[in-house]
Amino acid sequence: VTIDAEKRCAAEAAAELVETGMTVGLGTGTTIAHLLPILARRALAIRCVATSPMTERIAREVGLTITALDGIDRLDLAIDGADQVAPDFWLVKGGGGAHTREKIVAVTSERFIVIVDSTKLVDALSPPLPLELAVFGLASTIRRLAGPVQVRPGSFSPDGGALADLDVSLVEPAIVAAQVAAVPGVVAHGLFPPATVSGVFVGHGRSVELLEPRHRSQR
């Protein structure tokens, strides 16, 4: 069984949560690329918000209705991938550079469901931490960050921010998240706290496991 099959199994499980009438946030990445046609095949009357131009393009191609986040009051459900999922449900996201929009969509949604293959489950989070940084004063912002920063060459978010990776220990994610977020010029970092997460579908071979944080956040 391939990693791709695990992604597809997790995507199928998450698609089952979607019901007619819902507003649905769509994440970004190769796992979400599996979700989009599966969701479209269900032919439900739903409106979707995309977190990247790539997701928007694929979603429209498969026939999903995309709407602007500003045009709707609330999202019922958001579904997204992750780069790392820790046992305490801290996530690292942003490998694909879409984490700013993904975080906005995640916290706007009643429920935030993460879909991953089994390689994304880690015992402990490890660097780097993806960042989106304001282009203005980039060198100054980088000097204020708590470790070496690699700017991704020529890589910008759809909102114009520079994408970069911070080499920092993630053993204390809450502390790092607060420190990094406090640096002026940081648009967003890729750490998502457990309180954001409603559940994680993990593909294991041909089966799917649902991991739920104890708080069962109903954001």
Residues that bind ligand 5RP (CB under 6 A): 27-31, 80-83, 93-99, 102
- Secondary structure E strands in the chain: 23-26, 47-50, 75-80, 84-85, 91-92, 109-117, 129-133, 149-156, 162-166, 186-189, 191-192, 199-204, 207-211
Q: Are 17 and 75 in contact (CB under 8 A)?
A: no
And the tokens for 72? 């709707």
Q: Which is nearer to ligand 5RP, 77 or 98 (CB)?
A: 98
Please state the length of the chain.
219
Q: Which is nearer to ligand 5RP, 121 or 144 (CB)?
A: 121
Is 102 one of the catalytic residues?
yes
Query: What's the closest the beta carbon of residue 73 comes to ligand 5RP, in angstroms?
Result: 25
Catalytic residue among 6, 56, 102, 132: 102
Q: Which is nearer to ligand 5RP, 103 or 145 (CB)?
A: 103
Query: Rounded CA gap, 39 and 59, in Å?
Result: 9
Residues designated as active site? 102
